[in-house]
């Protein structure tokens, strides 16, 4: 069994940036991810449902930490605005928004280039237990500190924080062969969901999806949305889980055990943007030096931000308020 100071489960933005931030501190770190990110990339990686658009907050953080995006990572189609459609109110408006359309797997691989930790790819974490002051993972690794950076379906969260209650959505996304989208479109339709849907161009194809509360009728609702809005037959379907934190979202951490990024539910409740939260929570944990007290204190700013985003979410997703805002919009 290999022994480490820190074991990070998840090699996405949260896990890779944490490894980067703590590297100067001299910790012996293991970074574990189920994906085969050690193999050569052919440019055909799985497209994360609702992923692949870098929001302004994430762009600012990448610039702050001097991470430049190579041209081959950026898609040819870059939207200069978001076409916002309120289906029930029959309103359509264009809003200027500076997103960068990227290849999400290539982006994750880019962040891993700066990681000097021991990386273990293609390993699915099936068991984690606490034993003699160490966290034991798959009977292969043990570490003094354990960090869950393994996304919405986090094994670390489900193992050590079973009491955590949070709204969950099924993000269903279809890949269409033809270019039917007009850049980047955002859909509101309260008959389908109290969240939002989208369509965008990526790699010469159209991605169309919707975040729908988990349930047996999620797929039927998604099919109804596609049919009503004229989207054709898909060539592939993807799905993932999205967490949506509430106004009083707590900080989930224990002695020597931390959740960062979406594993901890740190994701925008208004837009489901998570990369900026992944980077911010990784930085906070690195600055806390794995002190539980310091981590919880520094995470207060994240809690306040999530409260603000929940207030913003209320104005976005209340049909009457959204209708009034869209009617009053100047830019169309």
| 329 part of a folded domain | no
Q: Which two tokens stand for residue 328?
A: 């009053």
Residue 16 pLDDT: 97
| 114 part of a folded domain | yes
Place of tokens 């509430």: 246
Using alpha carbons, select from 253, 266, 258, 255 the residue that is nearest to residue 166: 266
Work out the average pLDDT over 67-96: 91
| 331 part of a folded domain | no
| 165 part of a folded domain | yes
> pTM, whole model, 2 decimals?
0.93
| 326 part of a folded domain | no
Please give the C-alpha separations between residue 29 and each of 16, 128, 318, in angstroms, as whole numbers: 11, 17, 45
**7 close to 17: Cβ distance less than 8 angstroms:** no
Looking at residue 63, the DSSP 8-state letter turns out to be: H
Instruction: Spell out the residues 6+ positions from residue 69 whose beta carbon is closer than 8 angstroms to its own.
Output: 54, 62, 100, 102, 107, 110
Name the phi and psi angles at 155, rounded to 5.
Answer: -70, -35
Give per-residue pLDDT as tens, 152-178.
Answer: 999 999 999 999 989 999 999 999 987
Strands 197-202 and 205-213: antiparallel
| 327 part of a folded domain | no
Give per-residue pLDDT as tens, 96-107.
Answer: 888 999 988 899
| 257 part of a folded domain | yes
- What domain range includes position 90? 2-38+51-320
| 230 part of a folded domain | yes
Looking at residue 74, the DSSP 8-state letter turns out to be: B
Number of structural domains the chain divides into? 1
Backbone Cα Rg of the chain: 20
Residue 48 pLDDT: 63
Residue 332 pLDDT: 45
**Residue 289 belongs to a domain with what CATH number?**
3.50.50.60
- Which residues on adjacent β-strands are paired with residue 74? 102
| Band (126; pLDDT cuts 50, 70, 90) | very high
């Amino acid at each position: 069994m290999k022994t480490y100071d820190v074991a990070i489960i998840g090699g996405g933005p949260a896990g890779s940036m944490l490894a980067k931030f703590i590297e100067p501190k001299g910790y012996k770190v293991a970074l574990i991810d189920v994906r085969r990110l050690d193999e050569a990339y052919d440019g055909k990686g799985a497209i994360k449902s609702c992923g692949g658009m870098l929001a302004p907050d994430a762009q600012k953080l990448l610039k702050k930490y001097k991470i430049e995006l190579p041209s081959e990572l950026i898609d040819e189609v870059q939207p200069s605005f978001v076409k916002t459609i309120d289906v029930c109110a029959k309103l359509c408006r264009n809003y200027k928004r500076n997103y960068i359309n990227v290849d999400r797997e290539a982006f994750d691989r880019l962040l891993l280039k700066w990681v000097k930790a021991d990386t273990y790819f293609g390993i699915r974490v099936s068991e984690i237990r606490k034993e003699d002051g160490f966290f034991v993972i798959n009977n292969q690794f043990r570490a003094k500190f354990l960090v869950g950076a393994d996304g919405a379906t986090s094994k670390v969260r489900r193992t050590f924080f079973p009491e955590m209650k949070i709204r969950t959505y099924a993000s269903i996304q279809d890949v269409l062969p033809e270019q039917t989208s007009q850049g980047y479109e955002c859909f509101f339709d309260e008959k389908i969901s109290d969240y939002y849907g989208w369509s965008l161009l990526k790699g010469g194809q159209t991605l169309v999806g919707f975040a729908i509360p988990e349930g047996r009728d999620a797929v039927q609702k998604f099919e109804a949305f596609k049919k009503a809005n004229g989207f054709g037959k898909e060539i592939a379907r993807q799905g993932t889980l999205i967490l949506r934190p509430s106004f009083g979202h707590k900080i989930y951490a224990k002695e020597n055990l931390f959740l960062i990024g979406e594993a901890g539910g740190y994701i925008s409740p208004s837009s489901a943007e998570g990369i900026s939260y992944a980077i911010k929570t990784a930085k906070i944990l690195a600055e806390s030096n794995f002190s539980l007290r310091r981590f919880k204190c520094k995470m207060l700013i994240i809690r306040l931000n999530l409260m603000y985003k929940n207030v913003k979410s209320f104005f976005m997703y209340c049909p009457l308020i959204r209708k009034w805002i869209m009617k009053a919009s100047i830019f169309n």
